[in-house]
Amino acid sequence: MKNLLISLWLLLHIATCLVAQNLKAKIKIDLERTTGEIDKLIYGNFTEHLGRCIYGGIYEPAAPEANADGFRKDVITATRNLGVTNVRWPGGNFVSGYHWEDGIGPKDKRPHRKDLAWGDVESNEVGTDEFLKFSKAVEAEPYFCVNMGTGSLDEARNWVEYCNAKQGLYYSDLRAKNGHPEPYHVKYWGLGNEMDGEWQIGHKNADDYSKFALEAAKMMKWSDDSIKLIASGSSNYVRDWAEWDRTVLNSLHNYIDYISLHHYSANRDNDHNKFMAVTTQVENAIRITEGIINEVRSKYKMKKPIYIAFDEYNVWYRAFNEQKLEEHYNMQDALVVAMYLNVFVRNAHIVKIANMAQLVNVIAPMMITNGKLWMQSIYYPLQLFAQNCHGQSLETFVQCDRYDAGDYKQVPYLDVTSVYNGKTQEIIINVVNRHKDKAIDTSIVNQFGNVDSKATAAEVNSLSLQDENNDLVQKVRTAVKEIVAGDTFNYTFPAHSFTQIKIKIKA
């Protein structure tokens, strides 16, 4: 009995010590302090002709899971469950050598060509009509990117005609002949991919790109003035990178609706704190680009807005030099993805499109191994955001401990956004606890609005930051529990976790 009591006391003591080690924080939200409408297109994805993304990923006619069009039903279902709103296609670096006319008409007549971007042979089995079947199946907007590397102005304009013109023109009649009499009305068109990068096929300097893209933009809009154009912005944050965006915006501002940004994160030196601060760069790039957009809009007295399309983002470093880019993600990477999404939500007034790169197998939230589809760790934060974070982004006050890591100074341990969804009458609070091993006891104060005491907390976490999923085990996943909320309540965010709290507003 005595021993039992001592053990209990010891356990209690250890527990108390552990609790005492928790950090403290405060979050204040106010649903009147809205900062911007969240565009559902920030929950986009990307499929490139690269490795096993298209062939052996979304499309695998020989697989038992294939539908009548050759697309995998399991991938379609998981894409819908992920809440993907738009899919960018066909690249990526691939697009800068892609001629879309290779991918239409009878499949047995389509040419096989060497793709110089990734070194594979492209069979052209999946082309425009097939991809549009896929985007319909997953209920997502197609977002096409045109070839500004080896492509011609006519090619760009003809693609718009093929997809969007009513019958009666050469290319729209060709579309009808290929089985689709009605226009597809593809709305989103990218003017090239990463044209600022010298790795790009047909890379150009900012002036040459801008001149070429401007002529393409004019011809594409004259073919269909309802389309939205996305200029190729910065992907390479070396010295003077913002000059690229300034040149592009000065020259294309009348024709474009968005300028794109890309960013990939890496933890090459295995430094958790530094890795957890990596999205600071993303937010800086967005703010600098927003500044240049404002400068150009004010110079030309523009009424039309120009937004940012963050159309490639993800963690990518282990499989950086592998030809197939099959990155396996762990718990730590899931936190980085949640922080990318927090950045997009926090900047919802200017970031109106975002695309995780990519959808399946290739730096992707889902993977097929041994014939089986499974979800990587990064699937879960994206799913929570895409399913729940709609409506107005809110200004969020956060008071918590901070740290320095390398060039990153004063990084808050909590990365927080909050959202007011007027349709569902809910407040959503997204919290990443960056701390490797400390939980953070947080007082959450709702300053305006009458919130319910019933709420849910969905948590993406796992015992170890290195935990990964595979085709047998899902170590990293979402766990949902009911919690007690109210206008002021306390919640402890566990170490290295992403938590999404959802609270109803009382009528």
Q: How far apart are CA 416 and CA 402, in angstroms?
A: 13
Q: Which of 194, 290, 327, 459 is catalytic?
A: 194
- Single out the segment in contact with ligand AHR by CB under 6 A; choices: 85-93, 248-256, 420-428, 433-441: 85-93
Question: How is 336-404 classified by DSSP, letter by letter?
Answer: HHHHHHHHHHHTTTTEEEEEEE-SBSSS-SEEEETTEEEE-TTHHHHHHHHHH--EEEEEEEEE--EEE
Site for ligand AHR in 345-374 (CB under 6 A): 357-358, 363
Q: Does 192 bind ligand AHR (CB under 6 A)?
A: no
Maximum Cα–Cα distance for the chain, whole Å?
93
Nearer to ligand AHR, 232 or 342 (CB): 232
Nearer to ligand AHR, 354 or 357 (CB): 357
Among 193, 223, 330, 478, binds ligand AHR (CB under 6 A): 193
- Minimum distance from CB of 311 to ligand AHR (Å)? 9
- Minimum distance from CB of 91 to ligand AHR (Å)? 5
Binding mask 305-344 for ligand AHR (x = CB under 6 A): -------x--------------------------------
The SS3 call for residue 200 is coil
Q: Is 459 a catalytic residue?
A: no
- CB-based burial label for 50 (10 Å; 0-12, 13-18, 19+): buried
Q: Give the H/E segment covering residue 141.
A: strand 141-145
- Minimum distance from CB of 187 to ligand AHR (Å)? 21
Q: Is 312 a catalytic residue?
A: yes
What six digits make up the tokens of 168?
A: 């009666």
Nearer to ligand AHR, 256 or 261 (CB): 261
CB neighbour list of residue 262: distance below 8 Å, 6 or more residues apart: 194, 234, 235, 310, 311, 312, 313, 357
- DSSP bridge partners of 215: none
| Position of minimal CB gap to ligand AHR | 92
Among 27, 43, 44, 48, binds ligand AHR (CB under 6 A): 48
- Single out the segment in contact with ligand AHR by CB under 6 A; choices: 79-87, 90-98, 283-291, 386-394: 90-98
Question: How is 92-137 classified by DSSP, letter by letter?
Answer: SGGGGG--GGGGSS-GGGSPPEE-TTT-PEE---S-HHHHHHHHHH
Among 44, 57, 70, 92, binds ligand AHR (CB under 6 A): 92
336: left (phi over 0), alpha (psi -120 to 50) or beta: alpha
Q: Which of 48, 60, 141, 312 is catalytic?
A: 312
Binding stretches for ligand AHR (CB under 6 A)? 48, 91-93, 193-194, 312, 357-358, 363
Indicate which residues carry an active-site annotation.
194, 312
